[in-house]
Amino acid sequence: MTWEGTDRRQFARVMYPCMVKIVSPDRPQEAMLTHTENIGQGGLCVIIKKEIKLFTPVTMEVDLLDISEHIRPKGKVVWNVRRKSDEEVKPLFYSIGIEFTQLSPADRDHLYKNLEQLIKNGTALVKPFI
């Protein structure tokens, strides 16, 4: 499947490779460890080997690669795209978009401060198209 839809994100995302542990209720014994392609105030995009179905709720542990505690948002899968077999980087993996559905005020503040600093330092953005 190829991605031909419109990017309807409400927030810009920062191209930043955070470490992420994802647990799906479909496979609670199979925690997936991966990294983000990008992250923003409303969610993140990860690359994984196994598909997670649309609208599946997930719990996450995100290491923002600073000295603070990891954030632990809950989210739901809002899109998934299988990569093409001829892609040079991680062919046949899935790019998965996860929207944050629950983020504690402390985690939200921690995330926002990190994003502000990354943007201030010139980290590349993925801009929304709404």
Which strand (E) or helix (H) includes residue 120?
helix 105-120
96: three-class secondary structure by DSSP: strand
Domain count, the chain: 1
pLDDT tens digit string along 9-68?
566 789 999 999 999 887 788 899 999 999 999 999 999 988 899 999 999 999 998 888
What average pLDDT does the structure give for the chain?
Answer: 85
Residue 49 maps to which CATH number?
2.40.10.220
Radius of gyration, CA atoms only, the chain? 14
With respect to residue 7, please indicate whether it lies within any of the assigned structural domains.
Answer: no
With respect to residue 2, please indicate whether it lies within any of the assigned structural domains.
Answer: no
Read off the tokens for 117: 């600093």
pLDDT tens digit string along 55-85?
999 999 999 988 889 999 999 999 999 887 7
Range of the domain at 120: 13-124
With respect to residue 5, please indicate whether it lies within any of the assigned structural domains.
Answer: no
